[in-house]
Structures are given as C-alpha cells and as structure tokens.
A and B are shown apart, each in its own frame.
Chain A
C-alpha cells in the first residue's frame, strides 16, 4: 500500500509556457499533499502544502501566482508552473500524507517530475 504516482515523469518545454504536474495517491486518500523541488545534490525544499478543498499554504519565498496548486479530490493534487523560465528547471516531487500505525503522519513520495525549460 501507500503508492503515489506522479505524471509526467519528465517534461521539456519552451520558456513562457505552462506545465501541469499531477500527483495521485493510488491506494489511500490524502487530505494533505506536499510539493517539493530539489536541485542536483541539494536537499528537498518544501514549496507548499496542498489541502483538499482549501487553498494551498505556500512556504516563504514561493510565488503562489507562479506555482498554482489545486487539490480537487482526496487522491489528486496538481501543480502548474506558469510562464516557466529556465530557472524553474528542477526536480519536482510530491508527497501524500497518511496516518502511520504509530499515530504520526507518514509521507509517501511520488517518483518525481524532471522539468527542463529551454
């Protein structure tokens, strides 16, 4: 159990276009999902917390108008990178939260989306 899918796995786009990334929890419902980005050999950087049925909570320094998040159902959250620029090229990873056996909230990660903006 606890499988999270992410689509697409890789995308190359031209500067100025928008890219949508989907994150799905396949075998459990997730009221909370998270979006991260990671640069090569760097640590995970939390971008935003996605809450089903409400607005996402963005971390400081993350532009909410550039990174649009929609959590329309208990199994799907989407991240749209609007007007992408080369500096947005990165590895974007989502995670879905589920209650663990010990009572804490465990995060299960999708396989990631590698975005390259030309």
Chain B
C-alpha cells in the first residue's frame, strides 16, 4: 500500500462544474497536508495547506481534511480550462510524502 494514494484519473469535468480530487494516507501521525498543482512540463506549485480537521477555503479552492478517516480532498468550484493540470497531494509527519497525482481536464 502506498503511503499517499490518489486516483490517477484522468478526471474530466465540464467548464463551470465542481471538480473533486481525493487523497488518502496511511500514516496516522501526519500533521500537515498540502495540495500542489503541476502544469505539463512545469514544476509543482503550492495551492493549499491544511492542518486541522474541517474545511479551508481560498477563492475557488476548498481543502477538506478528515484525520479520523485519513482523508484529504480538494474541491475546485467553477472549474476553468486553466485548471487543467495534475494535482498532487502531499502529507507530512516531518518530511512530505507525495501522491502520484490526479490529472484533471476541464472541457470548455
């Protein structure tokens, strides 16, 4: 079992819809959770950090954390074609461990 699991996708949603990206992790001692966006051919970019259970909103992005279920998700509201990218979940108990990423395509 991988330490951080993500659905590889591809996930395809129409423009304007909500995209839901999910991530599960195995280390119950994890304290910090991150979402990165990586466009093709580019390096990852940090878009959200979350540390406590519940929701954290930043613009069109909402991160949700449930430590009891060892689950973290990212919701993208009003998805735009420019959101098309690979989204990496990272979980840290000290050092960060990255998932393999979910590729999102937003179709106009």
Bitwise, B57-74 to A at CB < 8 A (1) or not (0) is 000000000000000000
Judge whether B42 is part of the interface by a CB distance below 8 angstroms: yes
A112 touches B42 (CB 8 A): yes
A43 touches B49 (CB 8 A): no
Which residues in B have their C-beta under 8 angstroms from that of A93?
Answer: 43-44
Main secondary structure of the interface of A (DSSP, over half): loop
A102 touches B32 (CB 8 A): yes
Judge whether B31 is part of the interface by a CB distance below 8 angstroms: yes
Bitwise, B30-56 to A at CB < 8 A (1) or not (0) is 011110100000111110011110000
Main secondary structure of the interface of B (DSSP, over half): strand
A43 touches B43 (CB 8 A): no
Judge whether B96 is part of the interface by a CB distance below 8 angstroms: yes
- In angstroms, how far is the closest chain B Cβ from the Cβ of A31? 13
Assuming the contacts A44-B44, A112-B43, asked whether A107 and B96 have C-beta atoms less than 8 A apart, the reply is yes
Pairs A-B, 10 closest by C-beta atoms: A104-B32, A102-B51, A43-B100, A109-B43, A112-B43, A93-B43, A109-B44, A100-B49, A44-B98, A111-B43
Not counting A102-B51, A107-B90, A112-B43, a sample of 9 additional A-B residue pairs whose C-beta atoms are within 8 angstroms of each other reads: A43-B100, A93-B43, A95-B44, A101-B49, A103-B32, A104-B33, A104-B34, A106-B32, A107-B46
B: residues with CB less than 8 A from A are 31-34, 36, 42-46, 49-52, 88, 90, 92, 95-96, 98-101
